[in-house]
Amino acid sequence: MKVLVLNGPNLNMLGKRPKEHYGTKTLDEINNLIKDAAPEFEFIFYQSNYEGDLVTKIQEAVINNYDAIIINPAAYTHTSVAIHDALEMFSGIKIEVHLSHVDDREAFRRINYVRDVCDETFSGKLEGSYIDAVMYLKNRK
């Protein structure tokens, strides 16, 4: 299974962000946990602070017939119709993840432009949200 793990803005700063929402692990540490959870999968990891870069990566996943996308759009969850539309084109499995419980945070975070085009959402378990996404894929393959 070929899986794109896509992370949005500020996730490159994990380990330096407020620990009560984002934990203590860096993005590289989370990526290693993901690889360890499913060594039989081919993971492609990508992080960008730029919306267009994320859209381009999703389009590449469409063109190159990836099997799944695990996406933490971060702040773009609440603002990006472009990411929504790109995900809508992807016919594989799409999983939204968040480190924190975004629905229980500030009111503006309750707006979500990606959830309705994803197959599943995992949130609020820090790096465990990503591992739950990988386990979901293992059960679907």
- Quickly state the pLDDT bin for 106 (edges 50, 70, 90): low
pLDDT tens, 52-81?
999 999 999 999 999 999 999 999 999 999
Which of 76, 98, 113, 130 is catalytic? The answer is 98
Q: What is the mean pLDDT of the chain?
A: 93
Total-model pTM: 0.93
> How is domain 2-140 classified at the architecture level of CATH?
3-Layer(aba) Sandwich (3.40)
| C-alpha triplet 39, 70, 64: angle, nearest 5° | 85
| C-alpha triplet 4, 59, 41: angle, nearest 5° | 20
Contacts of 139 (CB under 8 A, 6+ apart): none
Which of 22, 76, 113, 130 is catalytic? The answer is 22
Annotation marks residue 130 as catalytic = no
Q: Where are the domains of the chain?
A: 2-140
72 known member of a binding site: yes
pLDDT tens, 26-46?
999 999 999 999 999 999 999
32 known member of a binding site: no
14 known member of a binding site: no
pLDDT at 141 over 70: no
